[in-house]
Amino acid sequence: MRYQRTRSSMFLMEIIINLLLFSILCVCSLQFFIKAYTLTEKTTTLHHAVSACSSVASIYASGNGETDIIYDTYPYAIYVEDKILIFYDENYAECDREHGAYYVLVEKKESLINKISIRYYEIDSNYCYSIEAYNYQPLTPSTMEEVTVYE
């Protein structure tokens, strides 16, 4: 009889050790799934940021060097102190300010060439992406008088 108890207690110990190892492996694999999900979310946000900034840059480059064309293209855009804010919801669709989870900030930069800075942020001001866009205008006799040639 004593031999059977030892054998059953060894079997119980083996099951406990197997359950412990299985639990540790489950926790490790769960961490990998959480990390993969987080990376997927960040990649999706970055992809949308690049797409949104590129769209704004294309609109600006096709215009006449003024930011009004951007403001006219986006119906929910807000124009504040020579800056344009374009808001996007959590599904990356354009929306109004109350429902915004992300926003694009467009600022005109002073230089000889028409230039804007386009930055993409999360609503809590976490920076995601930025680019600069230029609008080149052909030189005409009237604009050549404004250009200073350095020798």
- Overall average pLDDT of the 9-31 stretch: 93
Alpha-carbon distances of 120 from 1, 8, 74, 128, 151, rounded to whole Å: 75, 64, 15, 6, 40
Q: C-alpha angle 36/37/39, rounded to 5°?
A: 65
Q: Give the pLDDT score at 82.
A: 85
pLDDT above 70 (res 150): no
- Overall average pLDDT of the 103-116 stretch: 87
CA distance 75 to 95: 9
Q: Do 120 and 129 meet the contact criterion of CB atoms below 8 Å apart?
A: yes
CA distance 62 to 58: 6
pLDDT above 60 (res 149): no
Reported as a single tens digit per residue, the pLDDT across 90-107 is 999 999 999 999 999 999
Percentage above 90 pLDDT, the chain? 58
Domain boundaries, the chain: 2-144
pLDDT above 70 (res 147): no
Q: Quick one: tokens of 63?
A: 């215009």
Burial class (CB in 10 A: 0-12, 13-18, 19+), 138: exposed
pLDDT above 90 (res 151): no
Reported as a single tens digit per residue, the pLDDT across 23-78 is 999 999 999 999 999 999 999 999 999 999 999 999 998 888 788 888 889 999 99
Distance between alpha carbon 99 and the CA centroid of its chain, in Å? 17
Q: What is the largest CA-CA distance in the chain?
A: 111
Q: Which ranges of the chain would DSSP assign to H, the alpha helix?
A: 2-62, 68-73, 141-144
